[in-house]
Structure 1
Amino acid sequence: MTETTDQASTGQDSDQAQTWRDDFSRVLSPVFGSPQLDLVRGEGSYVWDAAGKQYLDLLAGIAVNALGHCHPTWVQAITEQASTLGHISNFFTSPAQIGLAEKLHDVLHLPAGSAVFFSNSGTEANEAAFKMARRAGGGGRPFIIAIEGAFHGRTMGALALTAKEAYREPFAPGVPGVVHVPYGDVDALEAAINENTAAVFIEPVQGEVGVRTHPAGYLTAVRELTTKVGALMILDEVQSGIGRTGSWFAHQDPEIGEGVVPDIITSAKGLGGGMPIGATITVGDANTKLLEAGQHGTTFGGNPLSCAAGLAVLETIEKDNLLDHVTETSEWLKTQLAKIDGIGEITGKGLLLGLELTGGASGDSATGAADAQVPDSKAVAARALEAGFIINPVAPGRVRLAPPLTITTDELTPFIEALPGLITG
């Protein structure tokens, strides 16, 4: 890391912060609320604000910056591609597009007949999968099942799959035909699925509810039940894929995926390492039953620039043995976190972790006294930001960590040391 930070800096001063906040509100949409920081530079696991304060980035753009910020190989790949060919539309292909698709076939061990459709984001990847689901069984299957706690995106089809009512209600009536079943309940799933079901959408790791995997046997049951009725099993690996859990994709981890082979996989976030890209991947002959030429498209999808970035990400993960690094770093991190009074259950795997905040309480949620001591995750995240750490208050009483896959234990140590004080305030 290049050391250019004023270590005495306490961040953006109030006058400067007010200026850029005023500028933001004057020219940009308010849908994200007021930004927390005005960031100007990143390197590795760190970012800097306009006042020169350094922050350890433990969120990585919400699991996007797989190689950290401005990784030399990633920068070189984008620079070289931009100097030769940036955009060509979907009337043409490029070596970068074919190369990235081939690499995804390789890491997923896809059988013959499998195919990749590139788009620009996770929600677009899920929109394509949604349209494929509408074609399942030759069409005429009106229902799609999603899981309580799911987050699949904000565009209308993906929004219909997203479980949180507060996200869907302002835009009602939404896309019809989506049924949400209770999390982890095989009996409820079995009662809901039938020959009118086109697909079951499911995240191997649910990120937006605090990072949770499914109960043992659940993904196996989804695969068995979808196969029985001829429905598709669609795995949303937008957040959990690209090495995030210590496997290329989370469902390839035996403990998470239980050996299931889905019909469709969606990917994004870490795939581009910071460049916008999504992928909808059909497995085997599922591709021959779904979208035909002209039934879907995207102007920017599969552009050479984003594909070059994605190929650099996958090749660097492989070359630098980052899957092993993620597993080893995760085990160290979870061991250190488990020692902290104020941290309860630690969920997730690899470098996608959810931390239950107990504030030193017993963690027995059956007692009001323990509940009263649970820290406000937003307040903890705010204190962390002031101390120079970016974390995500993903749910009440829970924070999410999704740092770069390249982060080291030395970089994590100051956070571990500061965390007890951040929890208690």
Structure 2
Amino acid sequence: MNLRLFSQFIPKKSILLPTAGRIRYVSNKPCDLYLPATHVVKDISKDQTEFLDRAEKTLLPVYVRPQEIVLSHGEGSYLFSASGQKYLDFSAGIAVNSLGHGDKEFIEVLTQQASKIIHSSNVYHNEHAAKLAALLIELTKRDGGLGWRAGETTSDNGKGAKVFFSNSGTEANEGALKIARMAGKMRWSAKTGKPWDSPDSECDKYRIVCFEHSFHGRSMGALSVTNTRKYQAPFEPLLPGVDVGRINDYSSLDALITDKTCAVIVEPIQGEGGINSCEESWLTKLRERCNQTDAVLIFDEIQASDCGLYRNGSLWAHSQYEIECHPDIVTMAKPLANGYPIGAIMMRDAIGQYMTAGTHGTTFGGSPLACALGTHVLSRLSHPQFMENIRVNGEHLDQRLRRLPEWFPHILQRDIRGRGLIRGLGFVEGKSPTKLVELSRQRGVLLLTGGADAVRIVPSLTITRDEIDKAVDVIESALMLM
């Protein structure tokens, strides 16, 4: 049927969405196809019961996991349980599985490199670490970030950048804080003419600024700048010298960041904290204040996230911003090797110059296997066609999600948070995002909470339009039951 003729039979408030060569009809009301639960396991098998009993006896009980799901394998955007249930994965291993599950090209690289050399320690060079570091730097120059405008090969941000590889995002943030502390001491010494390392040193440039609802990791240093009470309280006292502000609060910056501040760490888009975005103009003021006080500005783009490494449509969340708000250091991890553990710190040369042999290190970071996988993943994510696909799918996800607050104003906040393929549904006071996660899981879609009042939507970057439609259809049905 001719599309123009066909359109006359569609209600005025409906939408026509092109999907995989066909026209998908979207009603002007929420999808009710998934009201019955389809993934509720009533009888757990004997094998699964034995597994759960063994897990209870042997694993530290720091996670609350649904007892009916024991994952066995994955394929593309789907995960499969040992009991045969199939789940559409819109959590991507907490924004880690950028290429989805079971990617054949990724597995080929993993197998080939594992047959050659997996680990050699940092006592010796390996052929992959410098290759991945160079790729990170060149893509940052191409796409923008860390003081470079997109397409620039030179700038006044220093002679270049340096990369340090770690095993995780937490370790990347720990390293970044250490580097900023070192830079603070060296800058204080240069300014005062006094040695920072004398027994009676007067150096007081060691304070660190973080922000409410942040999440930077669970080790003691990273936890100290993760300003969430439930994470911090059991482990106090924490690292001293930490000051806490609020993102997008302009008026407090002068008092918050002083000459005693050595580092400011912030997520351009808070992931764990609820997909809260920093305003570009506020980040610019933050950068100005760091310049005035000689403080090192760190952008945590791990929860990644979530926001960095193309999830938001560009290499970094800050790639889309003017260089006047760019950081001195950017930390990364999650999707860089599609699930194989890796983290990294990338810094301007002006910061890296303070680190010398022995000032930092790692046993496993920068291994041949991790860096070979990281190079493969980043090369694919950065391909223009892949980037365009992320952009198009991000726009489609936005079109589907933006209707939800109109239909469910008693449950959801008006604005959809985040951008690209990192989105957040904010809940009105008294409504639980945990309930939506549970109801969606019982209908075959895996989601994550984000902070106290949001649900995170972070699918793999290979997600298809049909899969987006399926997930949002399930969310709509689940919201009808709340």
What is the TM-score when the length of structure 2 is the normalising length? 0.80
Which residue of structure 1 aligns with residue 342 of structure 2? Answer: 277
AA aligned to 1:54 is K
1:253 is aligned, of 315, 320, 324, to: 320
How far did residue 310 of structure 1 move?
0.7
CA contact (8 A) 1:243 1:322 kept: no
Which residue of structure 2 aligns with residue 30 of structure 1? Answer: 61
AA aligned to 1:112 is K
1:351 aligns with 2:421: yes
After TM superposition, the structure 1 = structure 2 runs for residues 344-423 of structure 1, keeping only pairs within 5 Å, are: 344-357=414-427, 371=429, 374=431, 376-423=432-479
1:211 aligns with 2:302: no
Alignment CA distance shift 1:43-1:112 (3 Å): farther
How far did residue 260 of structure 1 move?
2.5
After TM superposition, the structure 1 = structure 2 runs for residues 232-381 of structure 1, keeping only pairs within 5 Å, are: 232-238=296-302, 239=305, 240-254=307-321, 260-289=325-354, 291-319=355-383, 321-340=385-404, 341-342=407-408, 343=412, 344-357=414-427, 371=429, 374=431, 376-381=432-437
3-state SS of the aligned residue for 2:62?
helix
- Using the aligned pairs only, state the percent identity: 37
AA aligned to 1:243 is Y
1:128 aligns with 2:175: yes
CA contact (8 A) 1:60 1:66 kept: yes
Which residue of structure 1 aligns with residue 226 of structure 2? Answer: 162
3-state SS of the aligned residue for 2:442?
helix
AA aligned to 2:58 is V
* CA displacement 1:90-130 (0-9 Å, x = unmatched): 10121211211111011112763411100100000000001
Highest Rg: 1 or 2?
Answer: 2
Which residue of structure 1 aligns with residue 74 of structure 2? Answer: 42
1:21 aligns with 2:52: yes
* CA displacement 1:244-297 (0-9 Å, x = unmatched): 10001111023xx665221111000011110000001111321102x2211111
How far did residue 347 of structure 1 move?
0.5
Higher alpha-carbon deviation: 158-167 or 392-401: 392-401
Using the alignment, how far apart are the partners of 2:246 and 2:113 within structure 1?
46
Which residue of structure 2 aligns with residue 364 of structure 1? Answer: none
CA contact (8 A) 1:126 1:236 kept: yes
AA aligned to 2:98 is A
How far did residue 12 of structure 1 move?
8.0
How far did residue 18 of structure 1 move?
3.3
Alignment CA distance shift 1:195-1:307 (3 Å): same
Which residue of structure 1 aligns with residue 163 of structure 2? Answer: 116
How far did residue 424 of structure 1 move?
2.7
Using the alignment, how far apart are the partners of 2:64 and 2:125 within structure 1?
39
CA contact (8 A) 1:251 1:259 kept: no
3-state SS of the aligned residue for 2:121?
coil
Higher alpha-carbon deviation: 56-65 or 69-78: 69-78
Using the alignment, how far apart are the partners of 1:225 and 1:153 within structure 2?
25
Using the alignment, how far apart are the partners of 2:160 and 2:279 within structure 1?
32
Using the alignment, how far apart are the partners of 1:78 and 1:31 within structure 2?
30
Using the alignment, how far apart are the partners of 1:273 and 1:320 within structure 2?
19
CA contact (8 A) 1:357 1:423 kept: no
CA contact (8 A) 1:327 1:350 kept: yes
Which residue of structure 2 aligns with residue 363 of structure 1? Answer: none
Alignment CA distance shift 1:330-1:190 (3 Å): same
1:171 is aligned, of 219, 235, 239, to: 235
CA contact (8 A) 1:159 1:168 kept: yes
* CA displacement 1:52-79 (0-9 Å, x = unmatched): 1110100101110011112122111111
Using the alignment, how far apart are the partners of 2:115 and 2:293 within structure 1?
50
AA aligned to 2:49 is Q
The root-mean-square deviation of aligned C-alpha atoms, in Å, is 1.8
AA aligned to 2:50 is T
* CA displacement 1:298-330 (0-9 Å, x = unmatched): 100000111111111111113362222112111
3-state SS of the aligned residue for 1:186?
coil
Give 5+ residue unaligned stretches, structure 1. 1-7, 359-370
Which residue of structure 2 aligns with residue 231 of structure 1? Answer: 295
Alignment CA distance shift 1:380-1:223 (3 Å): same
Alignment CA distance shift 1:198-1:304 (3 Å): same
Using the alignment, how far apart are the partners of 2:207 and 2:362 within structure 1?
25
Which residue of structure 1 aligns with residue 136 of structure 2? Answer: 104
Using the alignment, how far apart are the partners of 1:216 and 1:84 within structure 2?
45
Using the alignment, how far apart are the partners of 1:12 and 1:348 within structure 2?
37
CA contact (8 A) 2:213 2:451 kept: no
Number of aligned positions between the proteins: 401
How far did residue 215 of structure 1 move?
2.8
How far did residue 142 of structure 1 move?
2.0
Using the alignment, how far apart are the partners of 2:101 and 2:423 within structure 1?
20
CA contact (8 A) 2:287 2:324 kept: no
Alignment CA distance shift 1:183-1:260 (3 Å): closer
Alignment CA distance shift 1:12-1:278 (3 Å): farther
What is the TM-score when the length of structure 1 is the normalising length? 0.90
Alignment CA distance shift 1:260-1:216 (3 Å): closer
CA contact (8 A) 1:12 1:51 kept: no
AA aligned to 1:41 is H
How far did residue 27 of structure 1 move?
1.4
CA contact (8 A) 1:152 1:236 kept: yes
Give 5+ residue unaligned stretches, structure 2. 1-37, 147-157, 187-195, 197-202
